[in-house]
């Protein structure tokens, strides 16, 4: 069994679900906790899977773009107006409602690439071994509801 660690980062984030039959079709927000689960079959020279700081360094700035931003379906008739008015604080999901499930996949895909790029860098204070891998991303929408994404191996 591999060793696993989890790092959580919180963002205040809004979305609107065009296809939802009830109140979720209106703009609303959540305090989202994003969990990154990382694993390795062995430990590094410091007896760690990796330093928790690596996750924040690799994905923190990008994830911060979701903080106080509104995620919207680009097919929503109001998308253009919102994007023009609020610029980079509106994040478009191409012809898809930005459900928590899709956010988890989007964050996973970005984090996986960012961690791989970080592992190749030589200019970092903390080393990330190439065998360390992102297992899953879990995004909490409320204190009792979450969605997660992981790639099948």
φ, ψ of residue 92 to 5 degrees: the values are -85, 135
pLDDT higher than 80, residue 140: yes
* Mean pLDDT score of the chain: 96
Query: For residue 61, what pLDDT is reported?
Result: 96
Which of 33, 4, 25 has its CA nearest to residue 103?
A: 33
Taking residues 89-101, report their average pLDDT. Answer: 98
Predicted confidence (pLDDT) per residue in 100-134, tens digit: 999 999 999 999 999 999 999 999 999 999 999 99
Strand residue runs (E) in the chain: 3-15, 28-40, 69-73, 90-93, 133-142, 145-149
Using CB atoms within 10 Å of the CB of residue 120, give its burial: 0 to 12 exposed, 13 to 18 middle, 19+ buried. exposed
Query: For residue 147, what pLDDT is reported?
Result: 98
pLDDT higher than 90, residue 1: no
| Domains in the chain, CATH or no CATH each | 3-149 (3.30.479.10)
Which of 89, 107, 130 has its CA nearest to residue 8?
A: 107
Query: For residue 153, what pLDDT is reported?
Result: 65
Predicted confidence (pLDDT) per residue in 34-81, tens digit: 999 999 999 999 999 999 999 999 999 999 999 999 999 999 999 999
Query: For residue 59, what pLDDT is reported?
Result: 97
Most distant CA pair in the chain, distance:
54
Q: Does pTM surpass 0.75?
A: yes
Query: For residue 151, what pLDDT is reported?
Result: 87
């Amino acid at each position: 069994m591999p060793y696993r660690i989890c790092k959580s980062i919180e963002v205040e984030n809004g979305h609107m679900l065009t296809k939802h039959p009830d109140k979720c079709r209106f703009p609303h927000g959540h305090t989202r906790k994003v969990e990154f689960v990382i694993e390795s079959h062995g430990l590094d020279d410091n007896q760690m899977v990796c330093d928790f700081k690596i996750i924040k360094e690799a994905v923190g700035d990008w994830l911060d773009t979701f903080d106080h931003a509104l995620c919207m379906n680009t097919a929503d008739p109001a998308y253009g107006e919102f994007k023009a008015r609020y610029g980079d604080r509106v994040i478009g999901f191409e012809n898809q409602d930005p459900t928590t499930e899709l956010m988890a996949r989007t964050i996973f895909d970005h984090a996986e690439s960012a961690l791989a790029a970080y592992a190749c860098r030589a200019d970092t204070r903390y080393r990330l071994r190439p065998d360390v891998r992102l297992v899953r991303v879990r995004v909490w929408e409320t204190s009792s509801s979450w969605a997660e994404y992981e790639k099948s191996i």
